[in-house]
Amino acid sequence: MVVRNQNEQPIAEGRQQSLKPKESVQNKGVNGMAKVYSEKDVDASVLKGKKVAVVGYGSQGRAHALNLKESGHDVVCGLREGGKTWKQAQADGLKVASVAEAVKGADLVAILTPDTSQPELYEKEVAPNLKAGACLLFAHGFNVHYKEITPAKDVDVVLIAPKSPGALVRSQFQEGRGVPCLVAVHQDATGNAKKVALAYADGLGGTKAGVLETTFAEETETDLFGEQAVLCGGVTELVAAGYETLVEAGYQPEVAYFECLHELKLIVDLIYEGGFARMHEFVSETAKYGDLSRGPRVIDAHARANIKEVLEEVRNGTFAKEWIAENKAGKPNYNRLLEKDLNHPIEKVGRELRANMAWLNKSACADKGAQKSTCSAEKEKETAAVR
């Protein structure tokens, strides 16, 4: 909603707050909040002495395997024999086997490869070797939710999704802490599915930070929506639009880069640490008023309608069908769009300016000499393929 000042200029009345949430599909805990599990809720006996197969050794795979092993679990990594990650897992002191051999006899199989590789991997190497009564675990619900993988009825199917990159899952565990996780049960064949999932999360260190109950549908849909409308698609489009607006108006590209991209980290860090309140605490009064009065004009009713449309395409499967078909076709549209994005003028300006920022070169991708999973170049390999 907007009102007008004496000069007939529209002034937004602040952010829309009249939320009318639909009833959640989740079981709620105290005071209607999401149910959160901690260490006291874990029955460690359900995984004691059990064989855990971790399939994939990317950022998440490595963190899961090492944390579980150091928590006392019997872990074997299922990888491609002789590949880069095979050698790395061996060097890390883990047992390694082919995917098929790792799955054979396993009581829990964690599939931590990219979404696009999972259906074929599951059909050819996991399903034929998965024993009845085993637990099949995912870190993202995409393939189960959109029925690209349909597990047998005699296995448990659960989700444990750490809400951080694998590097942080690992470093927090090493420091005696953990990162928050999501837990969901898609199929409970044994009656112990949730207990097993929580024991797994505990082995990662997640119960120290809290494990929030969700569903495969909620985890998948909110994850995809967040990436598309806010974290990746929304942010980059807003940055590009702001940069283009300034440059087209005659401002120097370098100055536009600093104002629309470089300083974004300063604001995001504040919001990450303490929400809107912390940002308001540290920005100027002028910046705050500009935020509160002009922000709603940028994300107006039309933008909100588009955001809702993006969510609907996630919920009704339109996006999933499009992405699956795109992969099967060799990703021609994906490659075209990515090339266009990487050739945006802001990229050239940014490279030149960042070359003089010594602190970026020093800190880039330092994960204590291990995997460089927090780099943008490695982000897509977050749950890397079996190599």
Q: Per residue in 326-373, pLDDT tens? A: 999 999 999 999 999 999 999 999 999 999 999 887 655 544 333 433
What domain count does the chain have? 2
Assess whether 196 and 169 both reside in one domain. yes
Assess whether 59 and 181 both reside in one domain. yes
Q: Which residue has the higher pLDDT, 15 or 197?
A: 197
Assess whether 152 and 266 both reside in one domain. no
Over residues 175-187, mean pLDDT: 98
Assess whether 227 and 149 both reside in one domain. no
Q: Which of 64, 140, 145, 186 is catalytic?
A: 140
For residue 383, tell me if it sits in a domain: no
Assess whether 251 and 343 both reside in one domain. yes
Least confident of 25-34, 122-131, 198-207: 25-34
Assess whether 117 and 89 both reside in one domain. yes
Assess whether 127 and 48 both reside in one domain. yes
Of 214, 241, 256, the residue at which a domain comes to its end is 214
For residue 196, tell me if it sits in a domain: yes
Is pLDDT of 53 > 70?
yes
**Is 140 one of the annotated active-site residues of the chain?**
yes
Of 197, 214, 231, the residue at which a domain comes to its end is 214
The model's pLDDT over 225-244, given as tens digits with 9 standing for 90+, comes to: 999 999 999 999 999 999 99
Assess whether 151 and 253 both reside in one domain. no
Least confident of 1-15, 223-237, 239-253: 1-15
Assess whether 259 and 181 both reside in one domain. no
pLDDT band at 29 (very low <50, low <70, confident <90, very high): low
Is pLDDT of 382 > 70?
no
Over residues 184-210, mean pLDDT: 98
pLDDT at 383: 38
Contacts of 191 (CB under 8 A, 6+ apart): none
CA angle 362, 169, 194 (to 5 degrees): 165
Is pLDDT of 153 > 60?
yes
Assess whether 201 and 235 both reside in one domain. no
Alpha-carbon distance of 133 to 319, in angstroms, equals 33
Domain extent at residue 209 = 35-214
Residue 215 near residue 194 (C-beta atoms within 8 A) = no
Over residues 206-210, mean pLDDT: 98
Whole-model pTM over 0.75: yes
Burial class, 361, CB count within 10 angstroms (exposed 0-12 / middle 13-18 / buried 19+): exposed
Of 165, 196, 214, the residue at which a domain comes to its end is 214
Give the chain's mean pLDDT.
90
Amino acid at residue number 328:
K
Assess whether 200 and 321 both reside in one domain. no
Using alpha carbons, list the distances in angstroms from residue 290 to 110, 138, 205. Answer: 47, 43, 41
Assess whether 181 and 207 both reside in one domain. yes
